[in-house]
């Protein structure tokens, strides 16, 4: 049995693929033909319908204004057709006769397309105005202005005292110089170490005394009242038996300036008001109990008697 020839091979039958992925190509072709027949049978897609729609679109007007004749010049009557009765022809009609004349063209375009022919040359290229100006009357009558009100008083009269102490006291010439010197001496020897505002307050107290009715109605007499009484006068420098020598020239100049401006009514401290008394913080006079405190500037406190009013 070892020398026997091999047996011939037997062909196995082919197994058909399962129908899991749809119909065969022949079936798909049939479906496509059926769908195409259905589409071609829709209304309006047949040949006659398409031709009818094309004819209707050519006749039917489109949306919006018809601009097909915009580039064509309008039909105007010939010159012979224009009325010869000029009384019935407007200026616009006369100008319109030559508006579309082909010989009257500007820059290669018809005159009816020239803005200047429609709006005039002054309007074209000019900036638009917000309003029209009214024409002025031919005759204008100029009326005189009312008299100007009197000018307001200067700073001396508004910010200080008006009328000024010098004016109320009638100070002029030598009397003015004497009063100014006495007031400057009081400012210098009583408050030269104080700030300027404190020096003004001392000068204001002296002026208030002059017009209070309780002291001499004179600047020098108010400053040096009872100067002969040692340490019993109105202002200590006048009765302390110390020789009054000016050793600070700059402070003396400032004292004289304050005295001059005070007499001119240019200086006035509202906080000090009508104070008539003051004292340094290191003394305690017995008259303080009768006083109303107005202000404190530097080392000095300023008062006015309660029963003297405000």
Rg (CA), the chain: 59
* Average confidence score pLDDT of the chain: 76
The answer for residues whose C-beta is within 8 angstroms of residue 227's C-beta and 6 or more apart is 233, 238, 239
The percentage of the chain sitting over the pLDDT mark of 90, rounded to a whole number, equals 47
Residue 144 has a pLDDT of: 78
Residue 73 has a pLDDT of: 62
- For the chain, the distance separating the N- and C-terminal CA atoms, rounded to the nearest angstrom, is 161
In angstroms, what CA-CA distances link 71 with 53, 57, 64, 106? 29, 23, 17, 17
What's the pLDDT tens digit per position in 98-153?
Answer: 555 555 555 556 666 666 666 655 555 555 555 555 666 777 777 777 776 665 54
Check residue 256 and give left, alpha or beta (phi > 0: left; psi -120 to 50: alpha). alpha
Distance CA 181, CA 185 (A): 6
Beta strands in 147-290 (DSSP E): 277-280
The helix/strand/coil state of 301 is strand
Burial code (b: 16+ CB inside 10 Å, e: under 16) for 272-296 equals bbbbbbbbeeeeeeeeeeebbebbe
Q: Which of 65-74, 88-97, 131-140, 197-206 has the highest mean pLDDT?
A: 197-206
pLDDT band at 309 (very low <50, low <70, confident <90, very high): confident
For residue 35, the surrounding DSSP H or E stretch is helix 25-40
Sign of the C-alpha dihedral computed for residues 224, 225, 227 and 232 taken in this order:
negative
Residue 155 has a pLDDT of: 37
Q: For 3-25, what is the mean pLDDT?
A: 55
Residue 206 has a pLDDT of: 98
Enter the DSSP assignment of 106: E
Residue 172 has a pLDDT of: 95
Query: Across the chain, how many H-helices and E-strands are there?
Result: 10, 5
What's the pLDDT tens digit per position in 105-120?
Answer: 555 566 666 666 666 5
In angstroms, what CA-CA distances link 307 with 35, 265, 304? 124, 26, 9
pLDDT over 70 at 224, yes or no: yes
Q: For 269-279, what is the mean pLDDT?
A: 96
Distance CA 300, CA 277 (A): 10
What's the pLDDT tens digit per position in 171-212?
Answer: 999 999 999 999 999 999 999 999 999 999 999 999 999 999
Residue 140 has a pLDDT of: 74
Phi, then psi, of 293 in degrees rounded to 5? -75, 130
Q: For 76-86, what is the mean pLDDT?
A: 54
The answer to whether 264 and 156 have CB atoms below 8 angstroms apart is yes
Q: For 60-75, what is the mean pLDDT?
A: 56
The percentage of the chain sitting over the pLDDT mark of 70, rounded to a whole number, equals 53
pLDDT band at 299 (very low <50, low <70, confident <90, very high): very high
Residue 33 has a pLDDT of: 72
Distance CA 122, CA 234 (A): 90
Residue 269 has a pLDDT of: 96
pLDDT over 90 at 228, yes or no: yes
Distance CA 285, CA 260 (A): 30
């Amino acid at each position: 049995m070892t020398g026997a020839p091999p047996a011939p091979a037997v062909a196995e039958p082919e197994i058909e693929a399962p129908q899991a992925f749809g119909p065969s190509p022949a079936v798909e072709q049939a479906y496509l033909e059926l769908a195409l027949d259905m589409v071609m049978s829709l209304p309006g897609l047949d040949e006659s319908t398409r031709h009818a729609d094309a004819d209707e679109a050519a006749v039917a007007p489109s949306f919006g204004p018809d601009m097909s004749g915009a580039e064509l010049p309008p039909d105007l009557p010939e010159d012979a057709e224009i009325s010869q009765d000029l009384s019935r022809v407007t200026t616009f009609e006369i100008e319109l006769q030559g508006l579309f004349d082909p010989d009257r063209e500007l820059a290669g375009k018809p005159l009816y397309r020239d803005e200047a022919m429609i709006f005039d040359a002054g309007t074209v290229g000019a900036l638009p105005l917000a309003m029209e100006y009214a024409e002025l009357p031919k005759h204008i009558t100029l009326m005189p202005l009312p008299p100007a009100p009197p000018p307001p008083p200067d700073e001396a009269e508004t910010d200080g005292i008006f009328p000024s102490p010098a004016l109320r006291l009638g100070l002029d010439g030598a009397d003015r110089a004497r009063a100014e010197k006495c007031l400057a001496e009081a400012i210098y020897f009583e408050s030269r170490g104080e700030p300027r505002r404190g020096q003004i307050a001392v000068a204001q107290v002296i002026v208030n005394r002059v017009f209070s009715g309780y002291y001499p109605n004179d600047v020098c007499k108010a400053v040096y009242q009872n100067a002969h009484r040692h340490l019993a006068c109105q202002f200590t420098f006048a009765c302390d038996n110390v020789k009054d020598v000016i050793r600070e020239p700059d402070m003396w100049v400032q004292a004289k300036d304050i005295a001059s401006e005070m007499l001119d009514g240019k200086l006035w401290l509202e906080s000090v008001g009508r104070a008539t008394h003051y004292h340094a913080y290191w003394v305690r006079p017995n008259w303080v109990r009768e006083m109303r405190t107005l202000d404190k500037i530097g080392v000095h406190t300023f008062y006015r008697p309660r029963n003297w009013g405000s």
